Amino acid sequence: MRGLSDIRTVGVVGAGTMGNGIAQVAATAGYDVVMRDIERRFVDNGLEAIDSSLSRLDAKDDLDESPDAIEDRITGTTDIGDLADADLVVEAALEDMEVKQDVFEDLEDVTDDDVVLATNTSTLSITTIASAIDREELVVGLHFMNPVPIMTGVEVVTGEKTAPDVTDLAHAFAEDLGKETWESDDKPGFVTNRVLMPWINEGIRAYDEGVASKEDMDKGMKLGTNVPMGPLELADHIGLDICLDASETLHEELGDRYKPAYLLKRKVAAGDLGKKTGKGFYEYD
């Protein structure tokens, strides 16, 4: 297996909210990054998001290098074959088992046999993702939090077959990106989403049932429980489709107490996915 000191190039699959954030923090830490998405426009959106995030950090004097120097280490591509030189890959494509298993099959083909393949899945089983390939012991969950450049925590998730030194590498790599880690067994939702998703869904249901306006739902939870965002604004921030996918997985695995809120399903059906589409529970520029 390739250890931390062997890692020069990090592959990132998916250039969306999480993928571009992971690419940014890896490049900021000095790694060369190849970020792959399925269409050029998604790659370009990801590169633009990195550019504006780095400019904001630079304006606050939070970078050791210029944004240009960091961005020079990032290559965007639509060709999975460009991940051939990756020493570690983090997958951050859609929260869909079939998509992830297809991606892992491709990654097994294009990368060297000793390369660790990590997934940023929020709720899907690491063990089931890994079962699609032969390199099961080199698959691990590396669950970054959103927004990746700002949030300091990363959840390391161990699958049934994950080798102990792969788990150790996942912790060490995240720490090298300036993050703090904790570990979860491969159980639905891990530590964070198992507790967060029912909280978000209950906030949506309470709003839908007229308990309070959306502003007061969020204000009540922020001021009343000392969290930085209320459930509706946090759901917009995460992406309502991502919340629904996560809730459906938890519902399927853990039963009715995890049932997704009706209004969450309706908003996703309407294409109002939160911040990333400009509209969710709130509107964004």
Ligand X SMILES: NC(=O)c1ccc[n+]([C@@H]2O[C@H](COP(=O)([O-])OP(=O)(O)OC[C@H]3O[C@@H](n4cnc5c(N)ncnc54)[C@H](O)[C@@H]3O)[C@@H](O)[C@H]2O)c1
Distance of CA 154 to the CA centre of its chain: 10
Among 12-20, 177-185, 207-215, 223-231, which window interacts with ligand X (CB under 6 A)? Answer: 12-20
Using the Cα atoms of residue 82, residue 84, residue 88 and residue 91 in order, give the sign of their dihedral. Answer: positive
The candidate with the shortest Cα–Cα distance to 34, out of 71, 1, 96, 82, is 82
Spell out a b/e string for 271-281, using b for 16 or more CB atoms within 10 Å of the CB, else e.
Answer: ebbbbbbebbb
Residue pair 29/177 in contact (Cβ under 8 Å)? The answer is yes
- Residue with the shortest CB distance to ligand X: 16
Of 91, 120, 143, 233, which is the active-site residue?
143
94 binds ligand X (CB under 6 A): yes
d(CA 143, CA 185): 12
Buried b (16+ CB within 10 A) or exposed e, 141-158: bbbbbbebbeeeebbbbb
Q: Verify binding: residue 146, ligand X, rule CB under 6 A.
A: yes
11 is in an annotated binding site: no
In the chain, the amino acid numbered 200 is I
Residue 87 as a binder of ligand X (CB under 6 A): the answer is: no
Among residues 28, 34, 42, 194, which is the contact residue for ligand X, using CB under 6 A?
42
Tokens representing 34?
């190849």
Binding mask 224-263 for ligand X (x = CB under 6 A): --------------xx--x---------------------
Q: Which stretch binds ligand X (CB under 6 A): 34-42, 206-214, 225-233, 249-257?
A: 34-42
CB of 216 to ligand X, least distance (A): 24
Q: Should residue 93 be labelled a site residue for ligand X when binding is judged by CB under 6 A?
A: yes
| 198 cis-preceded (ω within 30 degrees of 0) | no
The verdict on 120 binding ligand X (CB under 6 A) reads yes
**Is position 28 an interface residue for ligand X (rule: CB under 6 A)?**
no
Euclidean distance between CA atoms 137 and 142, whole angstroms: 14
Examine residue 15 and tell whether it contacts ligand X (CB under 6 A): yes
> Which residues are at the interface with ligand X (CB under 6 A)?
13-19, 36-38, 42, 92-95, 99, 103, 120-122, 143-144, 146, 238-239, 242, 276
**Residues annotated as binding site?**
14-19, 37, 95, 100, 122, 146, 276
Q: Which residues are catalytic?
A: 122, 143, 155, 193
